[in-house]
Structure 1
């Protein structure tokens, strides 16, 4: 009988190689099934760096690159195929209208591509809710757009950024997130750009949505929505606004009512060329009588006035004074989001008072 040992050894070795190749092919197939996410970085605490001797601060925002942020979360490769871009690297307190404009144009371009299934934007917490709401009014796609951030810098003990980033990518890659408008993912929760606001100076759970509550949550990389915004005006695909119609955003300022308030701020804003002013009122958006008269005078000079509130819950009621003085009311929008909406209303040349109020009531 012949010696078949070499043949047997070759057969087993060959079978092993075939199995290895099959596994590699299976991995490639699984990888190709993962959602394609564009990750855009703008800076913020999530890209911050602390002094080596400090636990969480002081720190410098916008230091680490998007590549460094992604490298810190190896699990990302198992949930999505990611392409990364560094759009900016700033402290979000320094956000500008120009950067907003560039961001929304680029986001719309990316979403128009069949090679992109969703977008994640890393951002600073200070103005995240303003950027999210701006995008919510101007993005034209049913595909998910998710903003995330961190309350602790990337090099801090127990940094919250890595998990927030992972969960934001998971939400952006989920079919359940489509047609929900722009979303914010923080601390295992999913929020609407319309509702969310920063409520705390240091807590990782600082982002909340007042009486609206979160839309849903993420657990073990599974996305759960408890309520839906599909088909509502909060859905970006239904927004009447278009960045293409806007050459430049008009100057809109924010004033505040308080005990012994003066008219100095409103008069100065008007003199400096403001086209609109949002006033943070007391209680139900009420204005000190001196400030109220300044606002009435501003309207007579062609300046749009919006009453908002300085409390955390509720909405601003539309009253007889508003009709008499041609004031707009912000509804449930806080002052900084009301400013964003007023800028877009003015930029599109919407001059009818009733139409402006309708927009505030529905957006």
Structure 2
């Protein structure tokens, strides 16, 4: 009987997995969920519910659109018939949206993000294989938010996109861990401004102060090494914290635990002393999402140090 088959909701948001090459050589996401699901073969008996949210390059998704994805996941989780959820998403911001969903929902069933590195009409299109693997994960009963991509199955806390052209695009960026347990930050991040500010060797404080002047409600430093900057940056961070704008230090270095050990006026230790929270494991994209979720929930001061310091 059809009603006895497991129901998997598949939320389509665009991205490379939904894209084909145009005549001018550019790629555009124009395939809807039903068209993508029609590519699949060899699935076990089940029901699939395509949900077309939007068709966007994920590089264009702001906090509002990421919140829309999270809200769509919440609607499917509220349906007791749904046994699992798959989100088809672009890779440019998959690490961000997946962390937001993980922070905002206590997922009672598998919630699985996947996508593709190659367009639907590419000779080595990887979308169908990734979708198939994601649906199998969604059927597994493993509650929580997962990323299934390029033959890898990972929890989303601490992941980052490590390659622009390899099929297995994502890796954990620090020690393998599931992330802090029991965290629930459901307040909407739509409408918040949380900026990333890149730090260059010898760089000044211009962009930090510009973000502060633009009304940022949080700033994440894309710092050097293990989370280092310059004396001018440290002074600007001190002013941000005094103005009630939280600052988090992450790093442009793609992998490894970040330790605030350097002094000298602009090192990670100095930034921490100036009031910056130090992201031990999260790289800038996910650090921004965690900071936004904490700011929206009003819990930066109470939970920030513990969550950002989680190994």
TM-score over 0.5 for the alignment?
A: yes
Q: Distance in 1 between matches of 2:209 and 2:298?
A: 23
Q: Which of 108, 112, 120 is the aligned partner of 1:154?
A: 120
Q: Secondary structure at the match of 2:29?
A: coil
The equivalences for 1:327-338 within 5 A come to 327-338=276-287
The equivalences for 1:121-140 within 5 A come to 121-140=87-106
Higher RCO (CA < 8 A, seq sep 6+)? 2
CA displacement 1:157-209 (0-9 Å, x = unmatched): 0200001001100001102x22xx31111112101111321111111122222
Any stretches of 5+ residues in structure 1 without a counterpart? Answer: 1-27, 214-227
May I ask how many residue pairs the two structures share in their alignment?
Answer: 304
The equivalences for 1:168-183 within 5 A come to 168-175=134-141, 177-178=142-143, 181-183=144-146
Q: Distance in 2 between matches of 1:282 and 1:98?
A: 29
Q: Distance in 2 between matches of 1:86 and 1:173?
A: 21
1:239 equivalenced with 2:183 (yes/no)? yes
| Change over 3 Å in CA distance of 1:348–1:51 after alignment to 2 | closer
| Change over 3 Å in CA distance of 1:58–1:196 after alignment to 2 | farther
State the match for 1:142 in structure 2.
Answer: 108
State the match for 1:61 in structure 2.
Answer: 28
Any stretches of 5+ residues in structure 2 without a counterpart? Answer: 262-268
Contact 1:80-1:173 at 8 Å conserved across structures: no
1:194 equivalenced with 2:160 (yes/no)? no
Q: Distance in 2 between matches of 1:330 and 1:351?
A: 13
Q: Secondary structure at the match of 1:74?
A: coil
Deviates more, 1:120-129 or 1:104-113: 104-113
Select the structure of larger CA radius of gyration. Answer: 1
CA displacement 1:233-268 (0-9 Å, x = unmatched): 35xxx223113xx47452110112222312110111
1:290 equivalenced with 2:232 (yes/no)? yes
Q: Distance in 1 between matches of 2:19 and 2:303?
A: 43
Q: Secondary structure at the match of 1:292?
A: helix
Q: Distance in 1 between matches of 2:139 and 2:189?
A: 33
Q: Distance in 1 between matches of 2:100 and 2:76?
A: 17
Contact 2:294-2:304 at 8 Å conserved across structures: yes
Q: Distance in 1 between matches of 2:238 and 2:206?
A: 14
Q: Which of 156, 165, 185 is the aligned partner of 2:148?
A: 185
